[in-house]
């Protein structure tokens, strides 16, 4: 069996080539997937390549943020979906959603959050969740300037769901929003709040603990042993920033945004029962779908739950049409 180190070395050349990618996203063209390193990267993550793609960098303060988008090759796009990934993940972590969007004639657009994937910054770290909002606002500016096809759809998974939630609480600028297993509090948050200040006296990060967050064993093995873009440690500065964000978001007044929430009831990553009570207060017009037996990684679950998820996403897509 390959180790994470050996696989990281095997993927190192591709990572270097992509991190030297010369273009800003704004200057990049839509084109067929001809660049060998980019095609190898997408194939490594099982993305559809029979499409037109665009990739490049956004500037977020001193960081370079990797942004990429995919659209149907032979059909006009009927809308745009921006997806925000979960903690430790990156923009190439969800081939199911990319393929679903292309099948629905949607542009699929995603960014690697600061410190994740191909983006720069300390690995998996953030000093303030407001930086995530700054990044989302930059993506929105790109959509506005170029008049990307509407409707504009926003989906957020886990930490990406927390970012999308805060955006909705401030002023939703997308036509529709779906939250997938959204983060408010992680499981065991009370204990985490106790040990973080003590640990912070002696260390800056702790080893990442992998959970069985999907029934798809091949996916779990890939993340643990083959995905060289997955961080291996949890920086305590991110936990501190999360705590500040939780205090801020839980004090917010309700908003009128119409939202779909999809959550698995076998999720052991986020405190989903508590989180839904918070979300239903903040988003009284939300419609919630609970997937019985589904774990946290809804977009990387076994086919049984992906079939249910696809049906709910299709209903969401038609929700305001």
> Which residue ranges form the domains of the chain, and what is each CATH number?
4-317 (3.40.50.1820)
Q: What is the average pLDDT across 70-84?
A: 94
Number of C-alpha atoms within 13 angstroms, CB side, residue 187? 13
The pLDDT of residue 54 is 96
* Contacting residues for 177 by C-beta, under 8 A, at least 6 apart: 153, 154, 155, 156, 164, 168, 257, 258, 259, 260
- Which carries the bigger pLDDT value, residue 26 or residue 195? 26
How do residues 85-125 score in pLDDT, each as one tens digit?
A: 999 999 999 999 999 999 999 999 999 999 999 999 999 99
* pLDDT tens per residue, range 201-253: 788 999 999 999 999 999 999 999 999 999 999 999 999 999 999 999 999 99
Instruction: Please list, in sequence order, all residues whose beta carbon lies within 8 angstroms of the beta carbon of residue 27, skipping any fewer than 6 positions away.
Output: 56
Q: Rounded mean pLDDT of 59-88?
A: 96
Residue 196 has pLDDT above 80, yes or no: yes
- Over residues 239-251, the pLDDT tens digits come to 999 999 999 999 9
Q: Is 320 a residue whose pLDDT tops 80?
A: no
Strands (E), the chain: 31-32, 52-60, 63-71, 80-84, 107-111, 152-157, 176-180, 205-207, 233-235, 259-264, 287-291
Q: What is the pLDDT of residues 6-36, one digit of tens each?
A: 555 667 778 888 988 889 999 999 998 878 8
* Average pLDDT of the residues of the chain: 93
* Interval 168-196 mean pLDDT: 94
Q: Residue 245: left (phi > 0), alpha (psi -120 to 50), or beta?
A: alpha
């Amino acid at each position: 069996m390959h180790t994470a180190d050996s696989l990281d070395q095997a993927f190192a050349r591709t990572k270097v080539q992509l991190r030297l990618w010369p273009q800003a996203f704004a200057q990049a063209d839509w084109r067929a997937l001809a660049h060998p390193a980019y095609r190898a990267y997408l194939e490594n993550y099982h993305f559809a390549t029979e499409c037109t793609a665009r990739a490049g960098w956004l500037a977020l303060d001193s960081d370079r943020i990797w942004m990429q988008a995919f659209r149907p090759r032979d059909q006009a796009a009927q809308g745009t979906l921006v997806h925000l990934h979960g903690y430790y993940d990156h923009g190439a972590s969800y081939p199911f959603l990319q393929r679903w969007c292309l099948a629905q004639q949607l542009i699929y657009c995603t960014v690697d959050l600061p410190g994740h994937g191909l983006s720069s910054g300390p690995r998996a770290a953030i000093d303030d969740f407001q930086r995530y909002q700054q990044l989302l606002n930059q993506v929105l500016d790109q959509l506005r300037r170029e008049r990307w096809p509407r409707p504009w759809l926003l989906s957020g998974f886990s930490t990406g769901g927390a970012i999308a939630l805060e955006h909705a609480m401030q002023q939703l600028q997308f036509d529709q929003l779906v939250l997938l297993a959204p983060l408010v509090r992680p499981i065991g948050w009370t204990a985490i709040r106790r040990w973080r200040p003590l640990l912070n006296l002696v260390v800056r990060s702790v080893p990442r603990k992998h959970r069985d967050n999907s029934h798809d064993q091949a996916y779990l093995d890939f993340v643990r042993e083959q995905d060289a873009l997955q961080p291996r440690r949890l920086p305590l500065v991110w936990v501190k920033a999360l705590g500040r964000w939780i205090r801020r978001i839980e004090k917010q007044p309700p908003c009128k945004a119409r939202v779909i929430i999809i959550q698995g009831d076998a999720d052991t990553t986020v405190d989903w029962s508590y989180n839904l009570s918070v979300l239903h207060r903040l988003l009284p017009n939300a419609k919630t779908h609970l997937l019985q037996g589904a774990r946290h990684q809804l977009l990387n679950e076994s086919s049984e739950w992906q079939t249910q998820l696809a049906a709910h996403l299709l209903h969401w897509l038609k929700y305001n049409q």
